[in-house]
């Protein structure tokens, strides 16, 4: 059964969703279904959400800074026996106590439309547009290019890096398809090769086939096919001269941290 978590926020709700996903990942890789209730400014959506959570046994996570709404949610949740977790409140209280300062209690301050916010949005749009080698022209404009065989976390890594305001493109490496010429025109320091062990990739692809309702013994997950793809990908990476990262048994956040370090080192060399 997939855990369901309602995220209630008087702003976008990204902060609470990120924390919920991080927590869910600690439970054997559990993927929670997150239902966002954003830009809440009165009690009506709060009452409706609490009632819905009660009916299906869901959890509520919230980032409400307006005291009346927060108190109303806590009251409603207690009355209906629903667990509600305050994501930001403890930290705000700690700031208030430790630094003797009063919070502004204004929603959305984290997402004010400043230059940093626009850069993040632009990077996310870039990652979507140039995902999976859709348009090789984007490689010449990218801050980082991820290459590797199918199911090496290229897309989630691109999105993670986009939230760090990096324009990330990714290109799948398939023996039957020549890599785009643009891949060899950019600085090799901008390219990151993602590798993985044969055994882990076999497990990942087998699970993918199951999820799609396809036969587990399909060529996509066959050991010989995987070895062929990985050997081909390694040849391309060596031809480019780019750094390579083994993503076997690594979380996306861990791999992203390594990539960010590689990018910093590459920028110092160039």
| CA dist list (Å): 211 to 3, 208, 215, 267 | 18, 5, 10, 40
Output the 3-class SS for 198-257: HHHHHHHHHHHHHHHCCCCCCHHHCHHHHHHHHHHHHHHHHHHCCCEEECCCCCHHHHHH
- Is there a binding annotation on residue 208? no
- Is there a binding annotation on residue 155? yes
- Is there a binding annotation on residue 151? yes
Other CB atoms closer than 10 Å to residue 236's CB: what's the count?
20
How far is residue 154's CA from residue 152's CA, in Å, rounded to a whole number? 6
- Is there a binding annotation on residue 195? no
Instruction: Please list, in sequence order, all residues whose beta carbon lies within 8 angstroms of the beta carbon of residue 265, skipping any fewer than 6 positions away.
Output: 189
Return phi, psi of residue 186, to 5°: -85, 165
- Is there a binding annotation on residue 153? yes
- For 205, the token pair is 């692809």
- Is there a binding annotation on residue 148? yes
Tracing tokens 């993985």 back to the chain, one arrives at 196
Q: E strands within 32-114?
A: 33-37, 59-63, 84-86
Known binding-site residues for ADP equal 148-155
Known binding-site residues equal 148-155
């Amino acid at each position: 059964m997939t855990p369901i978590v309602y995220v209630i926020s008087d702003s976008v709700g990204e902060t609470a969703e990120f924390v919920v996903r991080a927590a869910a990942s600690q439970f054997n890789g559990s993927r929670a279904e997150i239902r966002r209730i954003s830009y809440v400014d009165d009690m009506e959506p709060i009452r409706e959400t609490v009632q819905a959570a009660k009916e299906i046994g869901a959890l509520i996570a919230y980032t409400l800074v307006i005291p009346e709404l927060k108190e109303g949610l806590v009251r409603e949740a207690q009355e209906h026996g629903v667990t509600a977790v305050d994501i930001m409140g403890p930290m705000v209280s700690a700031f208030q106590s430790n630094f003797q300062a009063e919070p502004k209690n204004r929603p959305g301050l984290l997402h004010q439309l400043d230059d940093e916010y626009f850069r993040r949005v632009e990077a996310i749009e870039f990652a979507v547009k140039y995902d999976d080698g859709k348009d090789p022209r984007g490689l010449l404009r990218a801050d980082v290019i991820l290459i590797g065989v199918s199911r090496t976390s290229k897309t989630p890594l691109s999105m993670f890096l986009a939230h760090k305001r990096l324009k990330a493109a990714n290109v799948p490496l398939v023996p039957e398809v020549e890599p785009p010429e643009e891949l060899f025109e950019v600085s090799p320091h901008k390219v990151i090769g993602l590798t993985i062990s044969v055994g882990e990739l076999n497990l990942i692809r087998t699970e993918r086939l199951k999820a799609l309702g396809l036969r587990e013994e399909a060529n996509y997950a066959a050991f010989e096919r995987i070895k062929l793809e990985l050997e081909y990908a390694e040849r391309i990476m060596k031809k480019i001269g780019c750094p390579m990262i083994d993503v076997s048994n690594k979380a996306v956040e861990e791999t992203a941290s390594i990539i960010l370090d590689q990018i910093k080192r590459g920028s110092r060399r160039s």
